[in-house]
Each structure stands twice: as C-alpha cells, then as structure tokens.
Amino acid sequence: MKISEIYNMDIYSDAGQYLGEVRDTIVDLESGEVSRILMEEWKNGDKIEIKKILQQKSVLFRNIKNIGDVVLVSATGMGKKQTESAANPEVSDLAGR
C-alpha cells in the first residue's frame, strides 16, 4: 500500500471512537518506514505547536491494527487528548529535535 492511499481515511480506535482523518505522515528517513500518522497537516511552526500536534493529533504507526476502509488504531497508540491518559514519552523526544 502506498502512503498516498491512506490520506483522508477516517481513523477509529479499536473501541469505536472516531479520532479524525489522516492528514499527514512522518517518515523515518533512515529506515524508510512511516513512524506516525497525523490528523493535522504538519506545518513548520513553533515547538509548542509541533508538540501539541504530536501529543494530541497523531498516532504511532506501530499501533495501527488494520488499514482497510478505515484506519483502526489500538487504544494504547492514541495521544493524551484522545484517551485522557498520560502523554507518550516518545512524543516529547520528537518535538525537541
């Protein structure tokens, strides 16, 4: 599957919660693999805005359970605002780069 084929797909948690649509992706250039899908377009902004997108509007690609008509995500792969749980520590590492 090509990355372009998942853009604008709906994203749902495995609990059935609608999270948003795929708007952008983050690709690890060293491995050539998608590391995150974003529910908001990536814009060159300040660190606070970038951190907010990573924490609240993104999903780790490894937490995607299935891609078909929609993107199905494990509840453990969702950001703070989506689950009202603690933020993923990997997010702050990415935002600080």
Please report, for the chain, the start and end positions of each structural domain, with discontinuous segments joined by +: 3-95
Residue 28 CB neighbour total at 10 angstroms: 11
Structure tokens at 65: 């359970």
Residue 55 scores a pLDDT above 70: yes
Contact 64, 37 (CB under 8 A): yes
Q: Which residue type occupies 38?
A: L
> Looking at residues 2-28, what average pLDDT do you find?
94
Q: Is the pLDDT of residue 72 over 70?
A: yes
- The model's confidence at residue 92, banded by pLDDT at 50, 70 and 90, is very low
Helix (H, G, I), strand (E, B) or coil at 93: helix
Average pLDDT, the chain: 81
Give the pTM.
0.72
Q: Is beta strand 64-67 parallel, antiparallel or unpaired with respect to 58-60?
A: unpaired
Are residues 3 and 36 in contact, defined by beta-carbon separation less than 8 angstroms?
no
Top pLDDT among 96 and 25 is at 25
Q: Could you tell me the CATH superfamily of domain 3-95?
A: PRC-barrel domain (2.30.30.240)
